[in-house]
Chain A
């Protein structure tokens, strides 16, 4: 089915104004035929045998993110993610690195608003070892005081690297604090020095107990393995991780609709050119408007032919950098547009320019040609992700964790294809309104 759809939309790509670019309709995106299991303790297991590389990607997603940071502990979920590389009952600190990096693989982790992701790629014959290790840190994390304090210092340096050192770090920090009023999304995932300093080892134990449990996790394995062996190993190492009796807390706060434009001014040191960031509250990632919002993002900000770059950077030369994006989450998230002024121009001009482009998306539907261009760019991104086992695992993980449906990874294309110019204009009209707008201006702080 995907082959047919692709053929239709590849054939529809029209040529540029100059010499026509001829396009042959032959594209396919082979489906990811994943296998699903759920263990009695609630662990979901998604696997895909794929021998195109002698490696295997192992990923564990926990449905816990910055949204679950305890009160007065902003940044905690992220700090905790760092601590998952410390000691367990059976492993010394950093042993995950011994089992991955030291055998020619790699590991990493990331903390999002809603989920925390741990991922490794190792030579395929180390699969069993990694399954053991992931099960072990799910069940028996044992961080000590010294490791906790040292890693907290690392995270404070990460805060300085992301927020204090880059010229626009404080503007992006303000994006969360200024965009949400009630919902815990208002706390930046990186936290604050004060809240990080307030965290204790007891907080760490409680967080692990509460959220790091099999019925809150999804294991994804993609690569060169024997499915029967995989099942045997998963049973051996993960089945014995107990499912606790504790309830799984979920955030129930609801961010209220915005009732009128709000404006903020932020400043930072070493800001050579002023900037502006505009955000709108948009529905959750599972909402049917998610796809048109992604297409809107591509139209506005993907590549040099995108609306914002073409108009503000190229034609009017008002801005030196522009961006826009659909920051979609499990609860209502944000659509944002951003620009750094070109020298000689002010943040007010950039704001006017950004808003004019958003307005144009509402008033005039994009042409079929421009729409197909944006879809082709999105298709390219989908394909590029599938070049590696790690990318395929990520596509499957997001399908399962965000949508509860592994097949979403195979139907993304059809949904993308179904988005019309009218859909794009409609979501722009519906969400990119003055009433739903937060504007954050950013400039050099007054000299002391």
Chain B
């Protein structure tokens, strides 16, 4: 890989070849300056105009997500959020869909980790009408019993489909391996068993406790003027009443269980999905930017994982990793799909790169471009109304000031090679990483066992994603 970078630095070796023309002077990046206001009921309203096209996006974020799912009710936060759009105020589910789609837009709601959200994205002239619908959805969902039942059925079919995808199964297994029985361990959409147990009363209680203005943030971005946005927010949400901000499910940072090597053995798997997982960091961790850069060295098209697995060896269509930062430490997950026969080789390569990040060289001509990837990606994210809304919501969720937007690019650029190495060594050590492979065991188990003699094999039919052991009882 460094051979390629040398090309740019040592043009003399190119002889008769042409060299690319040098870049001109860089243009400054203009960053958005959000404004905010807290309504009398405690709702925080954030506005960041970006008037390049006549669209506006509004999101209500509730600062509670799947981490608050009660035991045995995995998926409750997500089911609750999804039901918001299935009837609210005086409208039925079909009437809501018609109303928002007539405004030239979409209405979406879902639950994630740490937060749930409902959002509209509409033609700019329709903002007041869209906010009225958004307010209905968040404040006055009907949760009609037939809708709860209908959604539960849909969810069961969705889960049936998801459980036939090797990549999804590997990712869900990885969460269990990292978190055991802690709040981030279960599939956030639930499992067939847990979704089957969710009742209307559970949903109503979850909504009453968490969907209150003191636990919410409204973010408006796009073609909207600041004061007009605040007035519209006041009209739609000023009368929202609700109780105190609920206590967050602040489980102490989970002590990750002992690492495991797990194979989920399934017949006729079109490919094997291979994943390496470990406990990562919180969003507010002082190492956040170092962690982002470390992940960028591994991930992205020219990151080390894709270099080694796809570009050098043709073993996968794509390999990459993510460092998912949350209120509590989120997971690090590196993964690739490959033909069953090469699963053991890919597993070895993923783990080797984790080790190399902690101990190997990271020359400037590799580090600088990987930081540029992050900087460029961040700038582009802020260019769309949706990307900007996502970043503002994330900062609000984790209690970070919006001034972080201006500090982010310099902070990325300041990260040094030894800091990346130290991050990998201390925060993502190979010794704490688990491995999961989902595929046709017969085609890779002998090779895999040689490298990981203590691996556990779980036949597909015996897997239970709601169990910390991953096995049915």
Q: Chain A: residues with CB nearer than 8 A to chain B? A: 10, 13-19, 21-29, 52-55, 89-95, 97-99, 101-106, 121, 123-129, 132-133, 136, 149-154, 156-158, 160-161, 163-167, 169, 224, 269-273, 302-305, 310, 313-314, 317, 320-321, 340, 342-343, 369, 372-373, 376-377, 379-380, 383-384, 386-388
Contacts and interface: CB of A to CB of B under 8 A. Distances in A.
Contacts of A320: 154, 157-158, 161
Contacts of A165: 165-167, 269-271, 337
22 contacts: A18-B91, A21-B129, A90-B18, A98-B4, A101-B373, A102-B373, A104-B372, A104-B376, A121-B380, A124-B27, A149-B314, A156-B314, A157-B310, A157-B338, A165-B270, A224-B27, A273-B160, A305-B97, A340-B157, A343-B156, A376-B123, A377-B104
Interface stretch (B35-43, B48-56, B248-256, B284-292): B48-56
A151 B311 CA distance: 7
B57 to A, nearest CB: 10
B99 interface: yes
A331 to B, nearest CB: 29
Contact of A167 (B8, B129, B161, B375): B161
Given A10-B125, A150-B314, A388 B157 contact: no
B5 A98 contact: yes
A54 B315 contact: no
Given A102-B368, A304-B94, 11 more contacts: A16-B91, A53-B383, A99-B20, A132-B21, A150-B313, A154-B317, A161-B317, A376-B105, A376-B123, A387-B384, A388-B384
A158 B161 contact: no
B315 A102 contact: no
| Best-surrounded residue of B5, B313, B314 (most CB of chain A within 10 A) | B314
Contacts of B301: 97, 101, 106
Closest 5 CB pairs of A and B: A104-B376, A153-B314, A164-B270, A102-B369, A376-B104
A270 B4 CA distance: 42
Interface of B: 3-5, 7-8, 14, 17-30, 52-55, 85, 89-91, 93-95, 97-99, 101-106, 121-126, 128-130, 132-133, 150, 153-154, 156-158, 160-161, 163-167, 266-271, 300-302, 310-317, 337-339, 368-369, 372-373, 375-377, 379-380, 383-385
Contacts of A16: 91, 95, 98-99, 102
B52 A52 contact: yes
B270 A160 contact: yes
Contacts of A28: 54
Contacts of A95: 4, 7
Nearest to A135: B18
A314 B27 contact: no
Contacts of B21: 128-129, 132
Nearest to B223: A383
Contact of A123 (B27, B156, B302): B27
B94 A125 contact: no
Given A22-B129, A94-B311, A54 B268 contact: no
A125 B4 CA distance: 22
A92 B163 CA distance: 42
A106 B137 CA distance: 38
B4 A101 contact: no
B103 A157 contact: no
A10 B124 CA distance: 11
Contacts of B373: 101-102, 104
Contact of A383 (B22, B30, B123, B154): B123
A55 B95 contact: no
Contacts of B55: 380, 383-384, 387
B409 to A, nearest CB: 10
Nearest to B130: A21
B24 A125 contact: yes
Contact of A103 (B101, B123, B376, B380): B376
A103 B271 contact: no
Contact of B20 (A13, A132, A310, A372): A132
B17 A89 contact: yes
Contacts of B167: 165
Q: Is the interface of B mostly helix, strand, loop or mixed?
A: mixed
Contacts, number: 280
A383 B23 contact: no
B310 A105 contact: no
Contacts of A273: 157, 160-161
Contacts of A166: 165, 270
A33 to B, nearest CB: 15
A102 B338 CA distance: 27
A27 B165 CA distance: 43
Contact of B103 (A23, A52, A129): A23
Contacts of B384: 387-388
B102 A369 contact: yes
Contacts of A269: 267-268, 270
B154 A379 contact: no
A404 B139 CA distance: 51
B126 A151 contact: no
| Best-surrounded residue of B8, B94, B166, B379 (most CB of chain A within 10 A) | B94
B311 A380 contact: no
Nearest to A237: B21
Given A101-B302, A380-B122, A161 B161 contact: no
Given A18-B90, A21-B129, A99-B20, A157 B337 contact: yes
Nearest to A343: B157
A128 B25 CA distance: 12
A318 to B, nearest CB: 11
A125 B156 CA distance: 51
Contacts of B313: 150, 153
Contacts of A99: 20
A67 to B, nearest CB: 23
Given A24-B125, A132-B20, A54 B29 contact: yes
A40 to B, nearest CB: 21
B157 to A, nearest CB: 4
A93 B302 CA distance: 12
A372 B338 CA distance: 46
B20 to A, nearest CB: 5
Contacts of B27: 54, 123-125, 224
B271 A164 contact: yes
A167 B165 contact: yes
Contact of A10 (B99, B106, B123, B164): B123
B408 to A, nearest CB: 13
Nearest to A381: B104
A379 B123 contact: yes
A21 B125 contact: no
A174 B138 CA distance: 43
A80 B3 CA distance: 24
A433 to B, nearest CB: 29
A89 B380 CA distance: 32
B104 A380 contact: yes
Nearest to A224: B27
A13 B99 CA distance: 10
B161 A160 contact: no
Nearest to A11: B125
Contacts of B268: 269-270
Contacts of B99: 15-16, 18, 21
